[in-house]
Amino acid sequence: MNNSKTLLETIIQACDEKHAQDIVVLDMSEISLVADYFVICHANNERQVQAIAREIKDTIDINKMEGFEDSRWVVIDADGVLVHVFHKEERMYYNLERLWGDATRVSVEQGIDKQ
């Protein structure tokens, strides 16, 4: 999981550099086999959603990216970290934070220290 933590810090920095809003990190390691972490953030328009997704793609090696063309919900698979870049309206509608409410939130300000 150490690689996931380093990767997580890089992804958070990339999101922050492109002004992603309300960055939330969920520790999924105890409740999902799909990923160690979910990173969830949003932007107010499609162009900014694309800018955030592109910054992540340009910063790290990714396995797969879905939803880039529509830019309403872009999912990026990055070896143990699933990044969800939403348009604000879609984020409010799908509310992944509530759906995965059993996951421990990770403090973004302190990198990967648990709250």
Sequence-distant (6+) residues with CB within 8 A of 46 are 70, 71, 72, 87
Cα(106)–Cα(27) distance, integer angstroms: 6
pLDDT surpasses 50 at 15? yes
In this prediction, residues 5-20 reach a mean pLDDT of 94
Summarize pLDDT for 24-56 with one digit per residue, the tens: 999 999 998 889 999 999 999 999 999 999 999
Report the largest interatomic distance among the alpha carbons of the chain, rounded to a whole angstrom.
Answer: 35
Pairing of strands 73-78, 64-66: antiparallel
Domains of the chain and any CATH numbers: 2-106 (3.30.460.10)
Give the pTM. 0.90
Give the pairing of strands 73-78 and 81-87.
antiparallel
Q: What is the DSSP letter of 20?
A: -
Q: Mean pLDDT, to the nearest integer, of 81-87? A: 97
Q: What percent of the chain has pLDDT over 70?
A: 92
